[in-house]
Amino acid sequence: MRMIKLLLSVALCGTLVACPSCCKKDNKLTSKEKAEGWELLFDGKTLAGWRDYNGTELTGPWTVEDGAILAEGEGSDANGYIVTDREFANFELVWDWKISRGGNSGMLYHVVEHPKYPVPYITGPEYQLIDDDNWEEVNGFALEPWQRCAVDYAMYVPDFETRKLNPAGEWNTSKIVFDNGHVSYWLNGQITVEFDAWTPDWYARKDSGKWENAPEYGLARKGHICLQDHGYPAWFKNIKIRELPAKPEEKDLFNGEDLTGWDLYGTDLWYVENGDLICESGPDNTYGYLATRDYYDDFDLTLEFKQEANGNSGVFFRSFVQQPAIVNGWQVEVAPKGHDTAGIYESYGRGWLVQIPDEQEEILKEGEWNTLRILAEGDRVQTWLNGEPMVDITDEKVGAGRGRIALQIHDGGGIKVRWRNLHLKTL
């Protein structure tokens, strides 16, 4: 009886050694994987948990075929993207995929949804999936190195001589590990690229290539997983993810010497004097912004400000930039007395979310240093002015926001505000 079972096992699996691999069921987690925190993003039967980018439902061109998600090949650069309902920050993501001959697709992550973002790749980095071998023959032009398979698209490229890529029509296994900014891409068991996001090298690549006119590319620290239909059939299965713990950081956003770590938008004046950061109306008397280069979503920020002239300014949070000088997001107001300092204003759509009662306006010290604290965690935002609680709001739309911290100078001219001791803790 033992011999019969042994022969049956060999017949079914080819060899005893190969059995654990070839007998593994698609789109299933082992007990060990479940214990390690893995979750499936595809159940093998339906597209539950996925929807159109910037949409509320799935409209195509995506189906399920033989236990795999099929991109039917009807998408284009402008459409054909689907995203997970959930967002992820730090994670290990593994999936199997195959591509059609001469085909092109991709796996994106940290994708941010917003009506002003028409496509996901201007926010989310992409692990490129493409048929290197047949691309030129099918499409009539050669790929650049930064467009080839398993690159960090338009950013980091692997050693193509050692990369192991199975041909079109055969399954490959890929992996992305994003661990608090340290990133590695894998293909068929080997690392293809490894880099650290948000470093000087990373920003130099972002600002000098394809993304130089995409100011929000790659900045999000949390977002959706996204699959791309780029006009060619592609298949995906065994998509699984496990979340990795965040590592909180504590830092000063302003070094007291220069504007390192900040981006300037508009023609207003931003400079350092005697260790203070100063904003002053420029020649055009228009809006101006000084925005952090990095994103901060959940944080505890304290700063000091002094209004030397008309102090109409503010602190934006979870905000993003449109060139040349439009910031979208939420603003904690900094303004002359009687104009809602520490209140919260939405720069598009709803306007004031919370204004300050008249009796609390006296908390502001005009012409003196004031301390402002902003605590943003999920849907809840709280503010304090000179130690006094001012705002406590819970708002789903605010909670979904992703973006930068930005200091504002209002239009109209005649404005001058000093800032110092901008200290932030991430949560």
- Asked if 353 and 393 count as a contact pair (C-beta separation under 8 A), the reply is yes
| 101 assigned to some structural domain | yes
| 309 assigned to some structural domain | yes
Domain co-membership, 402 together with 261:
yes
pLDDT at 5 over 70: no
Rounded average pLDDT over 252-269: 96
| 370 assigned to some structural domain | yes
Domain co-membership, 85 together with 171:
yes
> In residues, how long is the chain?
427
pLDDT at 4 over 60: no
Quick: pLDDT tens for 113-144: 999 999 999 999 999 999 999 999 999 999 99
Residue (of 101, 47, 59) closest to 233 by Cα position? 101
pLDDT at 252: 98
Domain co-membership, 234 together with 258:
no
- Asked if 214 and 122 count as a contact pair (C-beta separation under 8 A), the reply is yes
Lowest mean pLDDT among 166-170, 221-225, 283-287: 283-287
pLDDT at 324 over 90: no
Domain co-membership, 137 together with 215:
yes
- What is the percent of the chain with per-residue pLDDT over 90, rounded to a whole number? 88
Please state, in angstroms and rounded to a whole number, the distance separating the CA atoms of residues 221 and 238. Answer: 25
- Asked if 127 and 154 count as a contact pair (C-beta separation under 8 A), the reply is no
18 — pLDDT class (breaks 50, 70, 90): very low
Q: In this structure, is the dihedral angle defined by the CA atoms of residues 38, 41, 43 and 44, taken in order, positive or negative?
A: negative
Give the CATH number, domain containing residue 59.
2.60.120.560
pLDDT at 329 over 90: yes
What's the mean pLDDT when you consider all of the chain? Answer: 93
Last residue of a domain, one of 227, 243, 259: 243
pLDDT at 7 over 70: no
Residue (of 182, 210, 202, 414) closest to 308 by Cα position? 414
Domain co-membership, 258 together with 236:
no
What does the angle CA 201 – CA 205 – CA 206 come to, to the nearest 5 degrees? 115
Quick: pLDDT tens for 28-54: 999 999 999 999 999 999 999 999 999
pLDDT at 66: 97
Domain co-membership, 59 together with 178:
yes
61 — pLDDT class (breaks 50, 70, 90): confident
- Domain, as residue range, for 279: 250-426
- Torsional class of 278: left (φ above 0), alpha (ψ -120 to 50), beta (otherwise): beta
Lowest mean pLDDT among 8-17, 79-88, 392-401: 8-17
Last residue of a domain, one of 200, 219, 243: 243
CB neighbour list of residue 186: distance below 8 Å, 6 or more residues apart: 174, 175, 176, 177, 192
CB atoms within 10 A of CB 198: 15
Q: What is the CA radius of gyration of the chain?
A: 25
Domain co-membership, 219 together with 275:
no
Quick: pLDDT tens for 181-196: 999 999 999 999 999 9
Domain co-membership, 375 together with 420:
yes
| 360 assigned to some structural domain | yes
Residue (of 330, 336, 373) closest to 353 by Cα position? 330
pLDDT at 12 over 80: no
- Asked if 316 and 328 count as a contact pair (C-beta separation under 8 A), the reply is no
322 — pLDDT class (breaks 50, 70, 90): confident
| 300 assigned to some structural domain | yes
| 326 assigned to some structural domain | yes
Last residue of a domain, one of 243, 260, 281: 243
60 — pLDDT class (breaks 50, 70, 90): confident
CB neighbour list of residue 20: distance below 8 Å, 6 or more residues apart: none
pLDDT at 14 over 80: no
| 88 assigned to some structural domain | yes
Residue (of 75, 154, 404, 357) closest to 263 by Cα position? 404
Structure tokens at 241: 């993810």
19 — pLDDT class (breaks 50, 70, 90): very low
Peptide bond into 145 cis (omega under 30): no
Quick: pLDDT tens for 339-360: 999 999 999 889 999 999 999 9
Please state, in angstroms and rounded to a whole number, the distance separating the CA atoms of residues 280 and 418. Answer: 9
| 80 assigned to some structural domain | yes
Number of domains observed in the structure of the chain: 2
Domain co-membership, 197 together with 293:
no
Quick: pLDDT tens for 63-104: 999 999 999 999 999 999 999 999 999 999 999 999 999 999
Domain co-membership, 265 together with 193:
no
pLDDT at 23: 54
pLDDT at 379 over 80: yes
Domain co-membership, 337 together with 408:
yes
Domain co-membership, 375 together with 297:
yes
